[in-house]
Amino acid sequence: MLAAISRSLISSSPEAISSEFTPSNRIIRPYISVPAAAHQKLRQALATPVSSLRGEHARDKNGPLSSSRVSKSFSSDGARLRVAYQGVNGAYSELAAETAYPNCEAIPCEQFDTAFEAVERWLVDCAVLPIENSLGGSIHRNYDLLLRHRLHIVGEVKLPIRHCLLANCGMKVEDLKRVLSHPQALAQCENTLSKLGLIREAVADTAGAAKFVSLHKLRDTGAVASAAAARIYGLDILAEDIQDDSDNITRFLMLAREPIIPGTDRPFKTSIVFSLEEGPGALFKALAVFSLRQINLTKIESRPLRNSNHGPPKCFDYLFYLDFEASMADPNVQNALRHLEEFATMLRVLGSYPADVSML
């Protein structure tokens, strides 16, 4: 298996991947063409029709995963699970992947899109990707990708984010003039970095910043990244826990090709997406189906509705993503969704999965 998956190796032409939303049919159809790949192994993998893969080994012969099997780190043939994440070695996403699937083979991907497509193309078994941060809010790109792709949420991981100030060996804080990191990481350490008088420069990810500083042996530049990144790239940790707020937690979603069988033996969470006809009280009516049944909502996110082919184009139509604390195995939840379906123009269950209660 390749050490990393790049976007160029599995992406196709701009027209190859699109999503068509048809409100009248309440379905979303993703279209993915078979791309050409430079690497021979990837070419063979991508050239193999998905239907034949399903017939041989790709689909679990035992059917959908159960909640007790979802966190195991070995596939049915005994091989280590391959788990995609966005970033490079030392990224917080890599730590989240290893937390979700201990002893897995974590596969770095250049972009979020790449990780989604790698799972769909059977290049990896699953993916672990961030969806929201307690300080920075939602990762909107991944909400959009959940809709475009047909993967299922099979779990979640809440990871405490502890930022460190890193520099090459022998450097001191007073030697630094600037610092590199992901924009959110820089924002989360704004007060500390301002007191140090450092110029902030945004890059693609935290571990990538550490790798850049190390590779180019920069003496006046540091990086905000994890302690793991310091170990991997041979950097010194000049300061630990430099985030302005200690309550800095990122929630990651575990994504797979097949859903798990929801249960009632532990706390479960369910994620859905739906759209509504425009009108007074439409959203209130939708949320009321849960309130009437004492179902606790934990998250609501709106995103623009694109690619609507039903009637003339309209601005400011929205999809609503909703998380709530209950399992699809609960008849109360099933009744709530039947009620919502009566007036929703589209409804899709993204996953019903064990909740991460480690932070409680």
pLDDT tens-digit map of 270-301: 999 999 998 899 999 999 999 999 999 999 99
Give the mean model confidence (pLDDT) for residues 317-341: 97
- Do residues 40 and 57 lie in contact, with contact meaning Cβ atoms separated by under 8 Å? no
Tell me whether the CATH fold assigned to 7-159+249-253 matches the one assigned to 164-240: yes
What pLDDT is stored for residue 54 in this prediction?
35
Give the mean model confidence (pLDDT) for residues 179-205: 95
Cα–Cα distance for residue pair 43/223, rounded to 1 Å: 37
What pLDDT is stored for residue 313 in this prediction?
56
Report the greatest alpha carbon distance in the chain: 66
Instruction: Report the length, in residues, of the chain.
Output: 360
Examine the pLDDT at 27 and tell me if it is beyond 50.
Answer: no
Examine the pLDDT at 11 and tell me if it is beyond 60.
Answer: no
Structure tokens at 289: 């189906």
Give the mean model confidence (pLDDT) for residues 59-75: 49
User: Which percentage of the chain shows pLDDT scores above 70?
Assistant: 76
- Do residues 156 and 283 lie in contact, with contact meaning Cβ atoms separated by under 8 Å? no
Give the mean model confidence (pLDDT) for residues 260-267: 94
Is the four-CA dihedral 252, 256, 262, 265 of positive or negative sign? negative
Q: Quick: pLDDT tens for 204-234.
A: 999 999 999 999 999 999 999 999 999 999 9
Q: Quick: pLDDT tens for 229-258.
A: 999 999 999 999 999 998 999 999 999 999
Confidence of residue 24 (pLDDT cuts 50, 70, 90): very low
What pLDDT is stored for residue 37 in this prediction?
40
Q: Quick: pLDDT tens for 98-142.
A: 999 999 999 999 999 999 999 999 999 999 999 999 988 999 999
Confidence of residue 353 (pLDDT cuts 50, 70, 90): very high
Tell me which residues are annotated as active site.
Answer: 250, 252
C-alpha torsion angle, residues 224, 227, 233, 239 (rounded to 10): 50
Say which residue, 231 or 25, is predicted with more confidence.
231
User: Which percentage of the chain shows pLDDT scores above 90?
Assistant: 71
Q: 164-240 adopts what CATH topology?
A: D-Maltodextrin-Binding Protein; domain 2 (3.40.190)
What pLDDT is stored for residue 278 in this prediction?
87
Cα–Cα distance for residue pair 91/188, rounded to 1 Å: 16
> For 282, what's the count of Cα atoms within 13 Å in the CB-facing half-sphere?
16
Cα angle: 53, vertex 22, 147; to 5 degrees: 55
Is the overall model pTM greater than 0.75, yes or no? yes
If you classify domain 7-159+249-253 with CATH, what class do you get?
A: alpha beta
Confidence of residue 76 (pLDDT cuts 50, 70, 90): low
Closest C-alpha among 214, 218, 220, 217 to residue 197: 220
CATH number attached to the domain at 262-354: 3.30.70.260
Chain-wide mean pLDDT for the chain?
83
Examine the pLDDT at 26 and tell me if it is beyond 80.
Answer: no
Say which residue, 4 or 307, is predicted with more confidence.
4
Examine the pLDDT at 56 and tell me if it is beyond 90.
Answer: no
Q: Domain locations in the chain?
A: 7-159+249-253, 164-240, 262-354
